[in-house]
Amino acid sequence: MLTKKWTVDNVDPLKMNYPQLKEAAALLQQEEVVAFPTETVYGLGANALSDQAVQKIFEAKGRPGDNPLIVHITKKEQLTDLVDNLPEVAEKLMQAFWPGPLTLVLKSRDSVSKYVTAGLDTLAVRMPDHPVALALMEVSGLPLAAPSANLSGKPSPTTAAHVDEDLDGKIAGIVDGGPTGVGLESTVVDCTTEIPIILRPGGVTKEQLEAVVGQVEVDPALTSQDQAPKSPGMKYTHYAPVAPVFLVEGGLDFLKETILRAQKDGKKVGLLVTEETKFELGEAGDVMLTCGTRSDLSTVATNLYDVLRAFNSTDVDIIFSETFPKTGVGAAIMNRLDKAAGQKIISER
């Protein structure tokens, strides 16, 4: 398949790049799959109402069929046709965080393709905060089912080049709207329960949610591999580079000892660290890539997937990553690192 590529201005796409968006939207209307930028990561979009279109997402990604998809919309009025009930807590969260990196799980009206919900009676919906995503949906007139635009299990794409690397020849088109901002997927919150439950941490933190609606719980299934996922990202190893990733919990001396042990075993060691840790480690390891600063974890979130992908251009045998506090955006970072490592942890304790 020939994958068409368009570059679209991300400031005012409707006025400045309408022909490109019109061409991409036409492919979506023809039940093809098109990648596009959001404020979190690049999404792989298809008409959420069409079985044929949505199936192409799973085929292109090699995605398991029991992993539900998020439907992206441009206006709240679209929810009338998509969900059966809109609880007060969902209204409050939409008011506070839409458009933005927050996905709400609501009772489905069964109007979308059965492949979107993976057989569940709930539907995950969000309104992205990216002018290109919103303009593309406006021009197409469609709600778009859109997981991350990468091969299943690989690091999510934060640039069009990442999408091209994984999916060139597998999808109809790629809309290049520049690099994404948040860098991690949206927070997913189940609003069908009495107390909202975080199913996936992301760009909106637990603390921010609780400031709006009070108590919010975290689903223990985030650490379980044994049940059907209610949200994308709850099951299967994700975000992994080719070399195995291990999370190293402990002090700087323990990290240095861990590196030396691996090197004595003949392994070429890659290190995923912050700028602060890089300075403290000096010449330790064989390949050291930095993902941001500990003083501002949003920089780690923005760069994490790009750095994980960058290790695939090296010849390291093993990757050691430092760990982060599981509060604020650190919870989302650690969720992705846990998945990338398949929960492989080397601990000083």
Cα angle value 280/285/290 (rounded, 5°): 60
What does the pLDDT read at residue 283?
Answer: 86
Residue 257 half-sphere exposure toward CB, CA atoms < 13 A: 9
Nearest of 92, 102, 23 to residue 70 by alpha carbon: 102
What does the pLDDT read at residue 101?
Answer: 98
Burial class (CB in 10 A: 0-12, 13-18, 19+), 246: middle
Burial class (CB in 10 A: 0-12, 13-18, 19+), 119: exposed
Task: Using alpha carbons, list the distances in angstroms from residue 163 to 96, 150, 176, 327.
Answer: 31, 6, 10, 30
What does the pLDDT read at residue 232?
Answer: 56
What domains sit in the chain, N to C, each tagged with a CATH number?
A: 4-223 (3.90.870.10), 245-347 (3.40.50.11030)
How many Å apart are CA 269 and CA 287, to the nearest integer? 6
What does the pLDDT read at residue 225?
Answer: 52
Sheet (strand 269-273) strand order: 287-290, 269-273, 318-321, 245-249, 345-347
| Per-block mean pLDDT, blocks of 10 residues, the chain (349 long) | 92 76 97 98 98 97 90 97 95 98 97 95 97 95 97 94 97 96 95 96 97 95 57 61 96 96 97 97 93 97 97 97 96 95 92
C-beta of residue 345 within 8 angstroms of C-beta of residue 246: yes
Nearest of 336, 89, 83, 99 to residue 204 by alpha carbon: 99
Nearest of 304, 105, 71, 76 to residue 200 by alpha carbon: 105
